[in-house]
């Protein structure tokens, strides 16, 4: 039996990061990622008007910074208190059918030419899905051409990795892969009950699912514990420059170097609102 091509049927569109102050956070992210792109209008196709927000990136690809509000002000929709991801999927109609068949709760909306699903996986991470189309394919190429950075992966904390993986495999129709570790692997488990990956391409890009590991930071000599609360990871062209900026700004970071993924120099830090971030560079 020939295995189907697992790398072609989905992409990361953007991440939404909760912040307190849009302008201050915008400066922070722009500086760290050397970002020069800002979208004022197009990204609104994918989001409701419930939250004040801004978008760093273009054509839907990038980072949305948003201000969460009181949960009780939300009627008929949901918000996330944590960073959450939006994926573009090709098998949108199939996913819709499966969710309906099994009576999974979700929100389905059409907005201009875009169709979306919002759903929570079993560990309550919010995931937004957008139906793929030609416009987004073209926007992707333009963004990759113009941008100084891109989203490498989103890491989701799961209290039961196998349960989350089953849900994502069955209902989101993504295919689980195998973690590729480097030679000098750090002190963490790649047992699929503790760490899993839905690869979007080679090089561990995609969706990472991890069980919280209280000793992760301690054992690896990091100031941060990247197994707790999830994080987006951004690939930049010069991670040393990012470390210089962090040093000058007296922002604590963990320089993990190459320890979890071959060919990727990784660092961890908190943004201004204690959202865990990973920044990495392909080396
Ligand atoms: Fe990561």
Rounded to the nearest whole angstrom, what is the distance from the C-alpha of residue 158 to the centroid of ligand 1? 14
How many structural domains is the chain composed of?
2
User: For residue 1, is it within any domain?
Assistant: no
Q: Identify whether residues 273 and 157 lie together within a single domain.
A: yes
pLDDT at site 50: 85
Q: Identify whether residues 139 and 49 lie together within a single domain.
A: yes
pLDDT at site 76: 75
Domain boundary (112, 144, 176) is at: 144
Q: pLDDT tens, 79-91? A: 899 999 999 999 9
Structural domain harbouring 232 = 149-282
Q: Identify whether residues 20 and 140 lie together within a single domain.
A: yes
Q: Identify whether residues 134 and 248 lie together within a single domain.
A: no
Contacts with 152 (C-beta within 8 Å, 6 or more apart), sequence order: 204, 205, 233, 234, 235, 264, 278, 280
Domain boundary (144, 167, 193) is at: 144
Q: Identify whether residues 112 and 203 lie together within a single domain.
A: no
pLDDT at site 72: 87
Domain boundary (127, 144, 161) is at: 144
Q: How confident is the model at residue 195 (pLDDT cuts 50, 70, 90)?
A: very high
Rounded Cα gap, residues 39 and 118, in angstroms:
22
Give ion ligand 1 contacts, CB < 5 A: 155, 233, 278
Rounded to the nearest whole angstrom, what is the distance from the C-alpha of residue 241 to the centroid of ligand 1? 19
Rounded Cα gap, residues 28 and 35, in angstroms:
10
Whether the predicted pLDDT of 124 surpasses 80:
yes
Average pLDDT, the chain: 94
Q: How confident is the model at residue 3 (pLDDT cuts 50, 70, 90)?
A: very low
Rounded to the nearest whole angstrom, what is the distance from the C-alpha of residue 101 to the centroid of ligand 1? 33
CATH number at residue 49: 3.10.180.10
Rounded to the nearest whole angstrom, what is the distance from the C-alpha of residue 232 to the centroid of ligand 1? 7
User: For residue 219, is it within any domain?
Assistant: yes
Q: pLDDT tens, 23-44? A: 999 999 999 999 999 999 999 9
Q: How confident is the model at residue 78 (pLDDT cuts 50, 70, 90)?
A: confident
Q: Identify whether residues 117 and 191 lie together within a single domain.
A: no
Rounded to the nearest whole angstrom, what is the distance from the C-alpha of residue 273 to the centroid of ligand 1? 18
Rounded to the nearest whole angstrom, what is the distance from the C-alpha of residue 203 to the centroid of ligand 1? 12
Rounded to the nearest whole angstrom, what is the distance from the C-alpha of residue 230 to the centroid of ligand 1? 8
Rounded Cα gap, residues 220 and 222, in angstroms:
6
User: For residue 180, is it within any domain?
Assistant: yes
Rounded to the nearest whole angstrom, what is the distance from the C-alpha of residue 77 to the centroid of ligand 1? 29
Q: Identify whether residues 137 and 235 lie together within a single domain.
A: no
Q: pLDDT tens, 230-269? A: 999 999 999 999 999 999 999 999 999 999 999 999 999 9
Q: How confident is the model at residue 2 (pLDDT cuts 50, 70, 90)?
A: very low
Q: Identify whether residues 30 and 66 lie together within a single domain.
A: yes
Whether the predicted pLDDT of 214 surpasses 60:
yes
Q: Identify whether residues 78 and 125 lie together within a single domain.
A: yes
Rounded to the nearest whole angstrom, what is the distance from the C-alpha of residue 102 to the centroid of ligand 1? 31
pLDDT (mean) for 112-131 = 95
Rounded Cα gap, residues 95 and 171, in angstroms:
6
Q: Identify whether residues 41 and 96 lie together within a single domain.
A: yes
User: For residue 2, is it within any domain?
Assistant: no
User: For residue 5, is it within any domain?
Assistant: no
Q: How confident is the model at residue 8 (pLDDT cuts 50, 70, 90)?
A: low
> Among candidates 133, 16, 150, 7, which has minimal Cα distance to 86?
16
pLDDT at site 71: 87
Rounded Cα gap, residues 234 and 232, in angstroms:
7
Whether the predicted pLDDT of 193 surpasses 50:
yes
Rounded to the nearest whole angstrom, what is the distance from the C-alpha of residue 76 to the centroid of ligand 1? 32
pLDDT at site 1: 37
Rounded to the nearest whole angstrom, what is the distance from the C-alpha of residue 109 to the centroid of ligand 1? 30
User: For residue 81, is it within any domain?
Assistant: yes
Q: Identify whether residues 48 and 140 lie together within a single domain.
A: yes
Rounded to the nearest whole angstrom, what is the distance from the C-alpha of residue 38 to the centroid of ligand 1? 25
Beta bridge partners of 15: 63, 85
User: For residue 4, is it within any domain?
Assistant: no
pTM over 0.85: yes
Here the tokens at position 215 are 């000793």
Rounded Cα gap, residues 129 and 150, in angstroms:
18
Q: Which residue has the higher pLDDT, 205 or 203?
A: 205
Q: Identify whether residues 37 and 139 lie together within a single domain.
A: yes
Rounded Cα gap, residues 273 and 17, in angstroms:
10
């Amino acid at each position: 039996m020939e295995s189907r091509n697992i790398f072609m049927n989905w992409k990361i569109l953007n991440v939404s990061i909760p912040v307190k102050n849009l302008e201050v956070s915008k400066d922070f992210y722009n500086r760290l990622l050397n970002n020069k792109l800002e979208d004022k209008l197009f990204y609104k196709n994918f989001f409701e008007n419930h939250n004040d927000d801004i978008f760093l990136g273009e054509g839907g690809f990038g980072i949305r910074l948003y201000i969460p509000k009181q949960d009780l002000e939300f009627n008929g929709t949901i918000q996330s208190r944590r960073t959450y991801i939006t994926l573009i999927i090709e098998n949108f109609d199939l996913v819709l059918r499966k969710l309906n068949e099994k009576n999974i709760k979700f929100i389905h909306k059409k907005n201009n030419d875009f169709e979306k699903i919002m759903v929570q996986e079993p560990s309550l991470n919010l995931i937004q899905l957008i139906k793929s189309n030609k416009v987004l394919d073209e926007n992707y190429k333009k963004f990759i051409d113009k941008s100084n950075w891109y989203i490498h992966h989103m890491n989701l904390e799961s209290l039961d990795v196998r349960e989350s993986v089953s849900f994502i495999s069955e209902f989101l129709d993504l295919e689980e892969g195998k973690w590729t570790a480097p030679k000098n692997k750090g002190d963490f488990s790649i047992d699929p009950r503790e760490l899993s990956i839905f690869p979007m391409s080679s090089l561990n890009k995609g969706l990472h699912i991890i069980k919280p590991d209280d000793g992760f930071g301690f054992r690896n000599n990091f100031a941060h514990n990247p197994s707790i609360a999830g994080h987006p990871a951004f690939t930049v062209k010069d991670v040393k420059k990012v470390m210089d900026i962090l040093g000058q700004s007296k922002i604590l970071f963990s320089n993990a170097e190459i320890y979890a993924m071959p060919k990727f120099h990784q660092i961890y830090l908190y943004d201004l609102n204690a959202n865990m971030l990973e920044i990495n560079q392909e080396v």
